Structure 1
Amino acid sequence: MKLFWMLNFLPPELSQALGLPAQASGSWVQALRAQLAALPGAPQLTLCGYTPHVTKAQRRIIGGTAYLALPAAGGRAVLARALAEDQPDLVLLFGTESEHALWVLQSFDPARILVYIQGLAGPCGAHMADGLPPRFLRRQPLKEALAARTGGATVRQLAARLTARGEREKQVLALARHVLGRTGWDKAYCEQHAPAARYYPLGEILRQPFYAGGWRRQGCIPHRIFVSQGNLPLKGLHRAIEALPALLPDFPDAALFVAGWPPPDKGPLLRPAMRWLAEYPGYLAALAEKLGVADRIHYTGVLGADAMREEFLKSETYLLCSSIENSPNSLGEAMLLGMPCAASAVGGVPSLLESGAEGVLFNPSAPGALAAALAGLWADPARADALAAAARTRALADHDGPAIAAQLLAICRQALAGL
């Protein structure tokens, strides 16, 4: 079986071969490739990565695997030629919102394309500013122009970009005949926007360091909260900051650790201008100061897998405070480690963690719900530990690498048998 695997990033080994910096994405590709290669009847793969960082198509053979770097300019014609030359049995299309996703559906038989959902861009755009003051969705021509020139974006611009990608995503799903997803939420979305497609559930392989578990109460710092992403308003860091004052009377040592960089600060003279331009980070800094919790918030910088694992293990609780998610990998990684989890009951999250049995889910828009979820876990450590152990058992089954690879190969064969 010949599979043409269309990715929305360059695999690290291809980036290296082309002399480009490796992208943060991609560990799951290596893991799934390795698991597929170990199966009887393993497919022959061509990996095609879409990137604006190359100006012309680049083909490489690396370790016996064929690679293609697909440029943004002229990429549609390059892709059509590559598919005509390779004549794959099936195309695996990962991601639905980028322009190349539509190129795939328009250049190849949709009955031979498996569309694998990652996030859902349209709903993410719609929820980008949840929990923020209405002013964040108003037009600000000067700030938007300056943000664009400096590589940034206002909250309104971020929402608009994802909303536009969501419209393209709907076009992709409307053409799809086979869709692979992971949650009840993305399945319901596909039933609405991909009416001609068959839906197949398929889990995701996560980063290897997390499978070994390792969280222990005696090894963590009490009342230390870890949030794995806070740059985008969608991730809801403002909600976590707002919850801190309610926690401090009973848990005066509570502290919030966030993976990523702190809001930019060039000193008191430039601070107002920096906070105005770096809109969301500036809002977070001002909010923390207003609530008197700035000293409780710590940013770790960008972390690789091993460093991220250490931050998880040092924390008493993993917190997912997003306004919308499909299947957040960070939640799966926390569950694999066997640590107590509190998460927003949004999107596909309830498909990944059962509230009261494997962790605690809360309504992120309900006043006090986030603080109550954390306080409940902290007030009853024995219960929190039991939930965490159950979460680890669930995650080991949901993210079982050999089982996921075997299931994907079975789906491929099923799709081919229906032609």
Structure 2
Amino acid sequence: MFAPSTVSHNGGGWVASLEGIVRTLPDVELGIAFELGGCNFKYEQTGVCYYPLSCLRPSRVARLFGKCNIEERKEQYLRVIDDFKPDLIQIFGSENDFGIICSLTDIPVIIHMQGCLPPCHNALFPVGMNSKDFLFCGGLSLCRRWMGLRSESTFRKQAEREITTIQSCRYFLGRTEWDKALVKLFNPQACYFHSEEALRPSFFQSDKLWGMFDLKSEKVRIVSVISNPWYKGLDLILKTAELLRRFAPFRVEWNVYGVNDIVPFFERKYGIRASEVGVYPMGSVSQDVLVEALCHAHCFVAPSYIDNSPNSVCEAQLLGLPVLATNVGGVSSLVKDGETGILVPANDPYILASHIVALQADPGRARSLGHAAREQALARHNPESIGQTLLSVYKKVVRHA
């Protein structure tokens, strides 16, 4: 929706979907500040004020050393607030520097919880991996190698900063029992409101669904969508695929979207070559390509060691695809084991592989899980319901601040 530059993720992300909902709410005037360099201070389009904040993007060298100009950020934040004069400020994510706004203004601030870094720090490296691997194990660019070496210390500092941010804010929006529990742990006096996540229209409104296509083939097609952090479970995918190669009565084609250049590192670290076990890194693709891939897969696997409510799981559920996911973080708020999907322990490739084999031997169960998940996801991510919930929350916060 913002013209000067394309800032969407894979054809548009959940934030853009949420913007589409909020901008239609009655009596709501919307301003959006975000990180983007090379633009003017303010743009007005279709009733929305956009504020691209160029100071938020430090140089590559500064990012490598974890440095940023907090004072300049504060000035930019206050400039936006002074220009837009909001009644309420909504911050997406408690892990970023936007959280300092809580201490800069008396305007009520509500933090929309995303992930949470303290648990991510706890689950940063897969079993058998540590910072030394980034010195001695090949397969990474110099930039990623440096990021890996700094991962533990960087996450530790950011995790402590996030706790401070949560403690400084009064109002929170979340969507899982996990993020609610974390907010209450760090800030027992906080007011927590439940609101479901907006998803990309291509998934919610898709005319293609899982089960519409003939899935008979020589290979069982599995799809995962993960990102580059070490805790997202690429190692679990490789280990599980290796077990399926050895013991499953079928061959596997496991397409992994969202990653590419970190695969050689994991191959060397765990001694499993991706292509030899049927794992293929697909990189980033458009949402339409992903819809097509999901609808032609046999199942979806979410392998992360920690997550709040991965949108990739919700999108697979919307299409009716049977989901297998590690039982971590807030995933159990999305997947009811044996009813709307299958939950497995983190870092247990043996159980995951056995569930994949069993599911392929029972097509009726796969259809039942996928159907139930789709019905739940349609209700959970209904745009009208999300809009009404948000409007109610906004009014409560403004009224009681």
Query: What TM-score range do you get, normalising by the shorter chain?
Result: 0.7 to 0.9
Query: In structure 2, do the counterparts of structure 1 residues 291 and 143 end up closer, same or farther at CA, with 3 Å as the change threshold?
Result: closer
Secondary structure in 1 matching 2:50: strand
Residue by residue, what CA displacement relative to the aligned partner does 1:253-297 show, whole Å, maximum 9, x if unpaired? 12211114544xxxxxxxxxxxxxxxx533322367647862511
Query: In structure 2, do the counterparts of structure 1 residues 127 and 382 end up closer, same or farther at CA, with 3 Å as the change threshold?
Result: same
Query: In structure 2, do the counterparts of structure 1 residues 226 and 153 end up closer, same or farther at CA, with 3 Å as the change threshold?
Result: farther
From 15, 36, 46, the counterpart of 2:31 = 46
Offset of 1:169 from its aligned partner?
1.1
Residue by residue, what CA displacement relative to the aligned partner does 1:185-235 show, whole Å, maximum 9, x if unpaired? 111100111222101111111111112351116433552111112533211
Kept after mapping to 2: 8 A contact 1:113/1:178: yes
Secondary structure in 1 matching 2:153: helix
Whether 1:216 aligns to 2:208 is no
Uncovered stretches (5+) of structure 2, i.e. residues with no partner = 57-68
Offset of 1:368 from its aligned partner?
1.2
Offset of 1:349 from its aligned partner?
0.1
Kept after mapping to 1: 8 A contact 2:326/2:345: yes
The letter of the residue matching 1:138 is: K
From 195, 206, 214, the counterpart of 1:202 = 195
Query: In structure 2, do the counterparts of structure 1 residues 325 and 107 end up closer, same or farther at CA, with 3 Å as the change threshold?
Result: same
Query: In structure 2, do the counterparts of structure 1 residues 99 and 257 end up closer, same or farther at CA, with 3 Å as the change threshold?
Result: same
Kept after mapping to 1: 8 A contact 2:173/2:193: yes
Whether 1:282 aligns to 2:276 is no
Query: In structure 2, do the counterparts of structure 1 residues 141 and 152 end up closer, same or farther at CA, with 3 Å as the change threshold?
Result: closer
Whether 1:226 aligns to 2:220 is no
Alignment of 1:364-383 (within 5 A): 364-366=346-348, 368-383=350-365
Q: Which residue matches 2:60?
A: none
Query: In structure 2, do the counterparts of structure 1 residues 67 and 290 end up closer, same or farther at CA, with 3 Å as the change threshold?
Result: closer
**Structure 1, 57-66 or 402-411: larger mean CA deviation:** 57-66
Query: In structure 2, do the counterparts of structure 1 residues 188 and 365 end up closer, same or farther at CA, with 3 Å as the change threshold?
Result: same
From 266, 269, 285, the counterpart of 1:303 = 285
Kept after mapping to 1: 8 A contact 2:41/2:51: yes
Query: In structure 2, do the counterparts of structure 1 residues 60 and 367 end up closer, same or farther at CA, with 3 Å as the change threshold?
Result: closer
Uncovered stretches (5+) of structure 1, i.e. residues with no partner = 1-11, 264-279
Q: Distance in 1 between matches of 2:309 and 2:34?
A: 22
Query: In structure 2, do the counterparts of structure 1 residues 153 and 331 end up closer, same or farther at CA, with 3 Å as the change threshold?
Result: farther
From 115, 121, 126, the counterpart of 2:122 = 126
Q: Which residue matches 2:61?
A: none
Q: Distance in 1 between matches of 2:391 and 2:94?
A: 21
The letter of the residue matching 1:94 is: F
> What TM-score, normalized to structure 1?
0.83
Query: In structure 2, do the counterparts of structure 1 residues 304 and 389 end up closer, same or farther at CA, with 3 Å as the change threshold?
Result: same
Alignment of 1:114-153 (within 5 A): 114-131=110-127, 133-134=128-129, 136-138=130-132, 150=143, 153=146
Kept after mapping to 2: 8 A contact 1:116/1:180: yes
Q: Which residue matches 2:65?
A: none
Alignment of 1:65-214 (within 5 A): 65-70=48-53, 71-72=55-56, 73=69, 74-102=72-100, 104-109=101-106, 112-131=108-127, 133-134=128-129, 136-138=130-132, 150=143, 153-211=146-204, 212=206, 214=209
Query: In structure 2, do the counterparts of structure 1 residues 91 and 353 end up closer, same or farther at CA, with 3 Å as the change threshold?
Result: same
Offset of 1:120 from its aligned partner?
0.9
Secondary structure in 1 matching 2:42: strand
The letter of the residue matching 2:359 is: L
Q: Which residue matches 2:18?
A: 32
Percent of counterpart pairs with the same letter? Answer: 25
From 28, 46, 67, the counterpart of 1:63 = 46
Q: Distance in 1 between matches of 2:244 and 2:91?
A: 44
Q: Which residue matches 2:306?
A: 324
RMSD over aligned CA atoms reads: 2.7
Offset of 1:320 from its aligned partner?
0.3
Residue by residue, what CA displacement relative to the aligned partner does 1:96-133 show, whole Å, maximum 9, x if unpaired? 1112222x1121226x11110111122112212122x2
Q: Which residue matches 1:259?
A: 257
Q: Which residue matches 1:4?
A: none
Query: In structure 2, do the counterparts of structure 1 residues 33 and 301 end up closer, same or farther at CA, with 3 Å as the change threshold?
Result: closer
Q: Which residue matches 1:238?
A: 235
The letter of the residue matching 2:188 is: P
Provide the aligned length of Structure 1 versus Structure 2: 380
Kept after mapping to 2: 8 A contact 1:247/1:371: yes
Alignment of 1:323-402 (within 5 A): 323-366=305-348, 368-402=350-384
Offset of 1:314 from its aligned partner?
1.6
Q: Distance in 2 between matches of 1:339 and 1:142?
A: 40
The letter of the residue matching 1:42 is: D
**Structure 1, 302-311 or 206-215: larger mean CA deviation:** 206-215
Q: Distance in 2 between matches of 1:158 and 1:21?
A: 29
Offset of 1:364 from its aligned partner?
1.9
Kept after mapping to 2: 8 A contact 1:147/1:154: no
Kept after mapping to 1: 8 A contact 2:340/2:373: yes
> What TM-score, normalized to structure 2?
0.86
Q: Distance in 1 between matches of 2:121 and 2:237?
A: 20
Query: In structure 2, do the counterparts of structure 1 residues 366 and 152 end up closer, same or farther at CA, with 3 Å as the change threshold?
Result: closer
Secondary structure in 2 matching 1:332: helix
The letter of the residue matching 1:256 is: W
